[in-house]
């Protein structure tokens, strides 16, 4: 497959009509690598409460960070197995990665999938040492709807309280192309999943920005016509006003799916996502993982 064909396939992969064939373009090169994968571990009672753990094949001298990644899909579709390339890329950086599934709309509305986010984050914090990770270096990360979940579960601590636990110590948030400030809600399904109307405000991570929140890396493509770049800009402004450390990366010529697709080997040159994650979480000793990234920051 040519580089251009791979990139085209990856762009299609993240769209609403994505297929398993399209995901192969990203996942085949990642299927074999210097990592171990522990699949389908239960973190709750529902069949969707399953996660995969990716462990670096070459342990470092100190316990590595632990990164939890939630996939996108309009809170309505997607599966952790489609994002093997994300787990492989994070393990290549020397991190332990946790990729959870979660319940989707219409099985549940916002409270349901946000409760799942809290459960998965708590599982990761509790089990970090079992997989060799540092429990004090827990990062929450997601793309699109997953970025919304990572931000909201961190900023609105009611979800951890609903799980009967204190919020874990979160070292940072990585949001890729996330919706954080997207009122008014115009689509009927989105109105329903975040409704009734009196609850719409509670769906917006920007409304829960607070002093003392964890540092955040917000990544967005300037050609994103699915989630407007203003979402990341506005959240970054609000965080900064509260004294929260925030790094905003806006990529020229990059679309909605590209920010996560760039974690796959075929599309790694499309955007510098991997390098920016490494700079935020901690650079690995071996810089070879970052060699194919290219400039593209506003």
Structure confidence by residue, pLDDT tens digits, 137-192: 999 999 999 999 999 999 999 999 999 998 999 999 999 999 999 999 999 999 99
Q: CA-CA distance, 102 to 51, in Å (whole number)?
A: 9
Look at residue 10 in the predicted model and tell me its pLDDT.
43
Structural domains in the chain, CATH included, are: 32-259 (3.40.50.1820)
What is the chain's Cα-based Rg? 18
Structure confidence by residue, pLDDT tens digits, 198-230: 999 999 999 999 999 999 999 999 999 999 999
pTM beyond cutoff 0.85 = yes
Confidence of residue 26 (pLDDT cuts 50, 70, 90): confident
CA distances from 238 to 151, 159, 171, 208, 246 (A): 13, 21, 19, 10, 10
Structure confidence by residue, pLDDT tens digits, 61-79: 899 999 999 999 999 999 9
CA angle at residue 179 from 12 to 103, to 5 degrees?
75
Look at residue 23 in the predicted model and tell me its pLDDT.
64
| Environment class of 12 (CB within 10 Å of its CB; exposed 0-12, middle 13-18, buried 19+) | middle
DSSP string, 63-89: PPPEEEEE--STTT---GGGGHHHHHH
**pLDDT exceeds cutoff 60 at 53:** yes
**pLDDT exceeds cutoff 80 at 196:** yes
HEC sequence for 173-195: EEEECCCCCCCCCCCHHHHHHHC
């Amino acid at each position: 497959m040519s580089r251009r064909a791979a990139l085209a396939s990856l762009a299609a992969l993240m769209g609403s009509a994505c297929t398993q064939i399209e995901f192969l373009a990203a996942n085949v090169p990642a299927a074999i690598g210097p990592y171990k994968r522990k699949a389908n571990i239960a973190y709750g009672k529902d069949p969707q409460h399953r996660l995969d753990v990716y462990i670096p094949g070459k342990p470092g001298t100190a316990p590595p960070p632990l990164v939890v990644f939630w996939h996108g899909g309009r809170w309505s579709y997607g599966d952790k197995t489609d994002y093997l390339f994300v787990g492989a890329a994070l393990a290549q950086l020397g991190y332990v990665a946790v990729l959870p599934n979660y319940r989707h709309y219409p099985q549940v509305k916002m409270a349901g999938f946000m409760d799942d986010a809290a459960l998965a984050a708590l599982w990761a914090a509790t089990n970090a040492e079992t997989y060799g990770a540092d429990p004090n270096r827990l990062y929450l990360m997601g793309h699109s709807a997953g970025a919304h979940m990572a931000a909201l579960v961190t900023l609105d601590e009611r979800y951890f309280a609903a799980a009967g636990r204190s919020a874990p110590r979160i070292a940072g948030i990585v949001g890729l192309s996330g919706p954080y400030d997207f009122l008014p809600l115009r689509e009927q399904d989105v109105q329903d999943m975040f409704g009734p109307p009196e609850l719409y405000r509670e769906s917006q991570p920007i409304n829960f920005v607070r002093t003392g929140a964890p540092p955040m890396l917000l990544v967005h493509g300037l050609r994103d016509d699915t989630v407007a770049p203003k979402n990341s800009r506005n959240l970054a402004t609000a965080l900064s006003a509260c004294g929260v450390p925030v790094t905003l990366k806006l990529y020229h010529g990059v679309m909605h799916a590209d920010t996560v697709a760039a974690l796959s080997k075929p599309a790694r040159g499309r955007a510098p996502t991997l390098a920016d994650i490494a700079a935020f979480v901690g650079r690995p000793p071996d810089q070879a993982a970052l060699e194919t990234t290219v400039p593209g920051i506003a």
